[in-house]
Structure formats: structure tokens, C-alpha cells
Amino acid sequence: MHLSPDGIIFWQHGLFKLNATIVFTWGLMFLLTVGSKLITRKLSMGLERTRWQNLLEILVTSMRKQIADVGLRNPERYLGFLGTLFLFVAMAALCTIIPGYEAPTGSLSTTATLALCVFVAVPMFGIEERGIGNYLKSYVHPTFIMLPFNIISELSRTLALAVRLFGNMMSGAMIIGILLTITPFIFPIVMSTLGLLTGMVQAYIFTILSAVYIAAATRARKPKSEPQTE
């Protein structure tokens, strides 16, 4: 039994290994880009539209609404980043119904990469919105004593994002693997259905938490002056 798809190696040449994580990540990226390209090739503005266009419109509008609900002012700016995170994690979980596929998010390297993207993106959006001086000032906001704690919280929440997604996806795959050896017929199917649900919930949570972090970094431009005027 292996802990992650890192252990399955398709091809190896010297130091370079082509393991299942890389292959399935590139497969997912190919699927998402080519699929979106094919669907958006002929969009229609009228009432007659294809069902794939409907699907994409539902996805994009609901993601916009969720991002706006978290408290980000113009969701279009963050839709590219957060939407990509959501689509990738959700597709990685949904594709587990394909036999022989292992979710690349079940490997700690993939989730650590996604969490590092959030770790880099949060200060970038914060600086873009508030300017570098104001953003850095938020680290010493109540007093100077809070500086190390703020930095530790940035690091620990990145670690938490990575380990949470990894643990959930890995535990789903592992429970199915264990059940296959004990009760091979009905229970693995039930557990893989539950795995689909947890995968979607984890994708949602990953995106919402990133949105909350970005909102915390970009908001509070003027602390007390304009509380509820809008």
C-alpha cells in the first residue's frame, strides 16, 4: 500500500522521474484548458445556447457570487486565481470515478504547491490594493509585539491549507483501499460516493479560505473612518 500517487512511477531516467502525480496533474490541466477552449469557441448571446455553455455560465456566476459574499469588492479581479484553484481541486476529486486514476491532490507536493500559491498571492493582492507601506503596517497593527505572531500565523495557515487538503484526499483513497481488502463489493462504492462529496467540500473550503485570507489582506484600508457607509 502506498501513501500517495508519488509512489507510482511510470517512467524513470536518471534523476528524472515521471510519477502518477505529474501525469495526472498534466492530464487535468489539459482537460480543463482544452475543454474550456472548445466550449468557449462558439458562445451565443441569445436565448439559444449549448448546455456546456450553460454549465460554464453557472460555474462562473456562482463563483463570482461566492467570492463577493466573502467580502471582496470587485470579484472579477480575483476570479481568475480563486476560480482556477477551485476548478483544479474539484476536478481532481471528481475524476476519481475514472478507474486507474489517483487524485493528484492526494500527494503532499501538489497541495503544498497550491498552498504556496495562496501564500504568495495574498501579499500580492494586499500590496496591489493598499500599497506596500499600508500592507506592511498591518503586520504591526495593534502593537509591535504582534509582529512575530502575525508572521507565524501566515506560515501556519499555509501549512494547514496544504495538510488539510492532503489529509482529506489521502484518507479517502486509503479508506477505499483498506475496504477493498476487507469487504470488496458494496462498501467501497458507498465510500467512494462519500469521497466525491468530501472532495467537493474540500475544494469549496480551500477556495473560500483563500478568499477569506485575501479579503483580510486587502480590506480595512481605512480602519474606523468608513464603517458601514456603503
Shortest gap between Cβ of 63 and another protein (angstroms)?
13
Residue type, 128: E
DSSP characters over 61-121: HHHHHHHHHHT-S-HHHHHHHHHHHHHHHHHHHHGGGSTT---GGGSHHHHHHHHHHHHHH
Shortest gap between Cβ of 27 and another protein (angstroms)?
26
* 166 counts as binding another protein under rule CB under 8 A: yes
Residues ≥6 apart with Cβ < 8 Å to 187: 179
Q: List the one residue from 171, 180, 194, 223 that touches another protein (CB under 8 A).
A: 171
- Looking at beta carbons only, is 44 or 181 nearer to another protein? 181
CA neighbor of 164 nearest in space, from 72, 89, 70: 89
- Looking at beta carbons only, is 135 or 168 nearer to another protein? 168
- Looking at beta carbons only, is 136 or 160 nearer to another protein? 160
Are 106 and 173 within 8 A, CB to CB? yes
* 219 counts as binding another protein under rule CB under 8 A: no
* 170 counts as binding another protein under rule CB under 8 A: yes
Please give the biggest Cα pair distance in the chain: 63
* 160 counts as binding another protein under rule CB under 8 A: yes
How far, CA to CA in Å, does 128 sit from each of 167, 168, 219, 221? 33, 33, 12, 12
- According to CB under 8 A, which residues from 174 to 203 bind another protein? 174, 201-202
Segment interacting with another protein, rule: CB under 8 A, options 16-24, 138-146, 168-176, 213-221 = 168-176
183 in helix, strand or coil?
coil
- Looking at beta carbons only, is 77 or 157 nearer to another protein? 157
Shortest gap between Cβ of 167 and another protein (angstroms)?
4
In this structure, what C-alpha cell is assigned to residue 14?
Answer: 536518471
* 15 counts as binding another protein under rule CB under 8 A: no
* 68 counts as binding another protein under rule CB under 8 A: no
Number of residues interacting with another protein: please give it, by CB under 8 A: 20
- Integer Cα distance of 136 and 176 in angstroms: 46
Residues making contact with another protein (CB under 8 A)? 1, 3, 66, 69, 160, 163-164, 166-168, 170-171, 174, 201-202, 204-205, 208-209, 212
